[in-house]
Structure 1
Amino acid sequence: MKNIDNAATNKISPFKKLTTEQEQLVNDIISFTKHHLTQNHPAIYTVYGDAGTGKSVILSQLFVRIQKEARTQQNSVLYHTNNYFLVNHPEILKVYKEIAGPIKELYKKDFTRPTSLINQLDKQQQTIDVAVIDEAHLLLSKPDHYNNFYHDNQLVEIIKRAKVVIIVFDQYQVLRMKSLWTPERLQAITNQYPHKDYHLTHMFRMNASDDLVKWFNEFTNYKLTALPASARDHYDFRIYSDAEEMRKAIVQRNKEVGLSRILSTSGYPSTLDGGKHYIEEGRFKMPWDQYNYTVTPWAELPQTIGEVGSIYTCQGFDLNYTGIIIGPPISQTPQTNQLQVNLDRYTDVEAFKKRDDLTDPAEIKSLEKRMIMNSLNVLFKRGVYGTYLYAHDPLLRHSLTSLFKKAGFSLPKEEQ
């Protein structure tokens, strides 16, 4: 465990060895791309997969292969094609740009945000050949004037400007109304064109048992179930009744192997105003993550062990160990094994901006609740070697610690 490679660039490195399935998928996407580049209408390849199923690794290798052929192989259909890799997430974009540095066929300018590319192409009155889009569930699906996006849907606009579009998508990582996507909404667009879909199902990121991953999924589908007997097999899964004890354990893991952080759902005071806003739970008091102006991802900055990470700083990244605070928006319904989402306790004001295409209050509520559970899902799927949980809601906290004991587990001595 001491020789863990913590660099995010190596987690999605184009030199990482792919599984047979991944290799075949990359080959299939390249064949699809080459075939459709010669057609006179756009085509779309969609890779569906939950968090941690290796989507970014596949795209990273795919794009290097595309660009190598585009820049060096004169006999390839891809030769001299104009291709871009897009991701609507500043922290992940930093990693891809860093990856591009040492690879001579990749340029940092190949990697950009969707809005930047759309506006740049319009300015130059140009189109491109291939657009590879990571985290397509973060694409805007309504105008966002604050970020200079004046159209209705980023995917639609990219398709208009490219011959082949390759996207990866996870419906359980949709977190904001301005990026509202469902499989149906996505397919309403992709089905208008020649398209191909592929579903990734194997969890690569977490060393957790399939049953524990399933338990996390049940949890984010509002069900509190018994912990599987395998919850701690080859995986350090813990439930704490004291957030401060959990913090100490994470600090210890960070000393041992690095890249271990406290994360939290919304539900605590937070505004990006340059000031510090704290999460307090009993003896526990830590500030939220600050806006990261550096080129280094948030979790790789040593000082962020003293901050609480959010979906905005950890989505798309691996962490070795996570201590997750399940905040006030998620509680247990008394006398049931059901969980509930308390929209009035959600403090991420940016998340639920009004949409003109949503008018049914019940549908809006249901989508908002789903997004809150999705944000917890994103946090649940970060920890490679271990996940520690603490719940704000007293009833849920009691139920979780009881389930932990009932499964025959106890916290290791060092932390008791």
Structure 2
Amino acid sequence: MNEMDSEHLAEALRAGVRRTFKQVPREQELQSWRASPKTVAKVLVDAGLGEVIVLLEMSTLASDARIDMLLVGSHPECGELSVVVVENKQWSQLHVLRGTRRVVHPGSGPEGSQHPVEQAWDYCRTLQHHLPMLHRRFHGLVNLHKAPAEEVAKLVPPACGLRSEVDLARMRIFGSAPDARQEMGEFLASVLSGENAARHRRLIDQAHVRPSEALMLAAQEAVRGRALFTLLDEQRTAVDRVFQTVEEGFTENNKQVFIIVGGPGTGKSVLALELLGLLSAVGSAAVHASGSNAFARALREHVKGRRGGVESIFTYFHQHRRRTRNHLDVLICDEAHRLRKDSNLRYDSVEDRSDTPQIQELINAARVPVFLLDPRQVVRRDEVGTPEEIRRIALEMGIAEGNIHSIELSLQFRQHLCPEYVSWLEDLLGYEDAAPRPWEPSEGFQLLRADHPQQMEDYLRLQTALNRTARITAGYCWKWTKKVQPGGRLANDIRIDAWERPWNADKPIRKKKIPGKDMWATDPHGFEQVGCIYTAQSLDWDYTGIIMGRDYTWHGGRWLATKNEDPAAGGPDRHQLVRNIYRVLATRGKYGAIIYSTDPGTRALLAELGVPPVAQAKTVLDKQHHALAEAVARADDRSTPTQDGLF
């Protein structure tokens, strides 16, 4: 590599990243590949470490993130495998933001980048968690090969504090000065030698990558560290059946497939967490997977505060496409209605695409694959997550009928104070050719109708002032402008009379405290934007507002489904997909839902069915909390409380 042409190296890496990670490298990465690796190679050669193996753009083994360089060799003292994670930065000038420790540098934007020492440390810990053979023979290094000493000093104590869990004894940072490059070589020689480097590299390639015992214990403590609710009856039965199967042991050709079906709020995701905690406690290699970025991020944040490092247990369906057979003991596929036909990604080249069904890849990856799903939450025409499809593919793979276990969940936890609501909603939307029926108001759940979205927002805003969580969601009937407007604003794409609001942001705008799409459902500032099916599905809050658009309206005694702005919800199954979308959106609230339709006929239907008006409920709430209601009406700062409960 030291003698390799820089452009040739960059092109080789570009092709490798596209082929292996299905990603298109940015120009900034290409520039780094042209400049940075050779600076490390020179230090290695000068230090007599030319036989050390260098792995470029290696997977973190837990996500789509990539490690710039992994140096592989033997530890000089014991001869065992030793690795050094290298994070390359081309920064020549930098400024550390107080409080966040984020680093502003040319090309970063005002929000800055993650502190490179903390970034390298996170990669080290992830490797340790998934390659138990490392034990504690790992170190991290930040290569600031363009930064003078005075800039490097800004990144280390006492000038800059780091997260408490970062082990500074294992981390180093080196700048461009000649003495710094020499010190870098001396450090590498103290923890690496080239002896048996090729053999150690083969061991990594052949390793059975799985969560380490320490990580499984951490997952057990974090996931089960706070009770969400006690599993009852069928939930407990489902967990016990899977757990019993694992305890009985495995044989190579005796896969057991579990298909657990339940409607919204029946505890599927909490069941998945309970199962993950139990299996981790007994040392079984179990991983959680989902098809939703927002859901996975919410789960990671949920466990992150209690025990660091366990976020990598939460993966995405497509990350298991290259797992060897029975790589894991248990793969918990949550929200499996979001399964796709295959795991091909948008930028896959023709030669990298595969016809292997995603369901087959997931069944192949674990001895006991567990699928938790609600078939009425399929909301895209490319989603295939149904019990029938999972069973069909399992049988085609040669799995015995008796090894495919189906479990039904019916107990309601989200709307537990009014389990009748989900049934009423399904009749309203026309499932199984049912006719809408009158709503009988319940003390446990507040269903309301709005004649205008402003009424809905005013009511929900007052609920947030009462320390309750709330969001407004809508059908995809308005175009979504991803581009940020001048001044850091979001475009108000949703316009209904004089009321206008933006969709949730694609990426966070930290200066304006606007969360990105993955955190819209859980960041308190998400109330100021309208969410869609892709940011709301799988999550919930206390009160939910639903805007039904032109794509599902009541005319002539029946529902009409028409084209909206989401091509994924079109085609011959449009009616079913759009209906499923509104069913999902209308079941996100634990204590109440407010429905508004842009269609007069649909609003009239809700009134005929006896759904109370939100204006009346708002008047009652105003009287109960008169001073607070007046303060909310006057407030310019529309902050909302932090959401804690995610499920």
- TM class by shorter chain equals 0.7 to 0.9
1:103 Cα shift?
Answer: 6.0
Structure 1 counterpart of 2:436: 225
Deviations along 1:99-118, one digit per CA (max 9) or x if unpaired, are 44366698322221121232
Tell me, yes or no, if structure 1 residue 412 matches structure 2 residue 612. no
Tell me, yes or no, if structure 1 residue 282 matches structure 2 residue 500. no
Q: What pairs with 1:122-271 in structure 2 (closer than 5 Å)?
A: 127-146=327-346, 150-192=354-396, 193=399, 194-207=403-416, 209-221=418-430, 225-229=436-440, 231-271=441-481
8 Å contact 1:254–1:261 — kept in the other structure?
Answer: no
Give me the identity figure in percent: 21
Tell me, yes or no, if structure 1 residue 83 matches structure 2 residue 296. no
For residues 156 and 285 of structure 1, the distance between their equivalents in structure 2, rounded to whole angstroms, comes to 45
Deviations along 1:185-240, one digit per CA (max 9) or x if unpaired, are 232124452211100011110245233321111123265523232x3322221111
Structure 2 counterpart of 1:16: 228
1:85 Cα shift?
Answer: 1.1
Larger radius of gyration: 2
Other structure's SS at 2:359 match: helix
**Amino acid across the alignment from 1:379:** L
> TM-score, normalization: structure 2?
0.54
Other structure's SS at 2:567 match: coil
Tell me, yes or no, if structure 1 residue 114 matches structure 2 residue 305. no
Alpha carbons of structure 1 residues 273 and 408: separation in structure 2 relative to 1, 3 Å = closer
8 Å contact 1:321–1:384 — kept in the other structure?
Answer: yes
Deviations along 1:374-398, one digit per CA (max 9) or x if unpaired, are 1111111110111001111111112
8 Å contact 1:289–1:308 — kept in the other structure?
Answer: yes
Q: 1:395 aligns with which of 593, 596, 601?
A: 601
Structure 1 counterpart of 2:214: none
8 Å contact 2:453–2:547 — kept in the other structure?
Answer: yes
**Amino acid across the alignment from 1:157:** E
Other structure's SS at 1:387 match: strand
Choose 165-174 or 22-31, whichever is displaced more: 22-31
8 Å contact 1:100–1:106 — kept in the other structure?
Answer: no
1:348 Cα shift?
Answer: 1.1
1:292 Cα shift?
Answer: 4.7
8 Å contact 1:391–1:397 — kept in the other structure?
Answer: yes
1:309 Cα shift?
Answer: 1.0
For residues 227 and 216 of structure 1, the distance between their equivalents in structure 2, rounded to whole angstroms, comes to 11
Structure 2 counterpart of 1:4: none
Other structure's SS at 1:167 match: strand
Other structure's SS at 1:137 match: helix
Alpha carbons of structure 1 residues 404 and 284: separation in structure 2 relative to 1, 3 Å = farther
For residues 356 and 408 of structure 2, the distance between their equivalents in structure 1, rounded to whole angstroms, comes to 27
**Amino acid across the alignment from 2:387:** P
8 Å contact 1:257–1:320 — kept in the other structure?
Answer: no
Tell me, yes or no, if structure 1 residue 330 matches structure 2 residue 552. yes
Deviations along 1:24-53, one digit per CA (max 9) or x if unpaired, are 321111112333623523221111001110
1:84 Cα shift?
Answer: 1.6
Structure 1 stretches of 5 or more lacking a match? 1-9, 71-77, 353-363
1:412 Cα shift?
Answer: 2.2
1:303 Cα shift?
Answer: 2.0
Structure 1 counterpart of 2:11: none
For residues 232 and 279 of structure 2, the distance between their equivalents in structure 1, rounded to whole angstroms, comes to 19
Structure 2 stretches of 5 or more lacking a match? 1-221, 485-489, 509-514, 623-647
Q: 1:309 aligns with which of 531, 539, 564?
A: 531
Deviations along 1:283-312, one digit per CA (max 9) or x if unpaired, are 321111112556973122222211111111
Choose 247-256 or 20-29, whichever is displaced more: 20-29
* Higher RCO (C-alpha under 8 Å, 6+ residues apart): 1
Alpha carbons of structure 1 residues 144 and 304: separation in structure 2 relative to 1, 3 Å = same
Structure 2 counterpart of 1:348: 566
1:151 Cα shift?
Answer: 4.1
Structure 2 counterpart of 1:359: none
Deviations along 1:354-403, one digit per CA (max 9) or x if unpaired, are xxxxxxxxxx51x2221111111111111011100111111111221233
1:147 Cα shift?
Answer: 6.6
Alpha carbons of structure 1 residues 246 and 409: separation in structure 2 relative to 1, 3 Å = closer
Tell me, yes or no, if structure 1 residue 339 matches structure 2 residue 559. yes
CA root-mean-square deviation: 2.9
Structure 2 counterpart of 1:5: none
Deviations along 1:145-175, one digit per CA (max 9) or x if unpaired, are 3175744421111112221101101101101
1:134 Cα shift?
Answer: 0.5
8 Å contact 1:292–1:298 — kept in the other structure?
Answer: no
For residues 372 and 246 of structure 2, the distance between their equivalents in structure 1, rounded to whole angstroms, comes to 15
Structure 2 counterpart of 1:98: 301
**Amino acid across the alignment from 2:231:** T
**Amino acid across the alignment from 2:232:** T
8 Å contact 1:264–1:309 — kept in the other structure?
Answer: yes
Structure 2 counterpart of 1:321: 543
Structure 2 counterpart of 1:37: 250
Structure 2 counterpart of 1:62: 275
For residues 601 and 472 of structure 2, the distance between their equivalents in structure 1, rounded to whole angstroms, comes to 22
For residues 426 and 587 of structure 2, the distance between their equivalents in structure 1, rounded to whole angstroms, comes to 10
Aligned length: 376
Other structure's SS at 1:32 match: helix
For residues 302 and 413 of structure 1, the distance between their equivalents in structure 2, rounded to whole angstroms, comes to 22
For residues 333 and 12 of structure 1, the distance between their equivalents in structure 2, rounded to whole angstroms, comes to 49
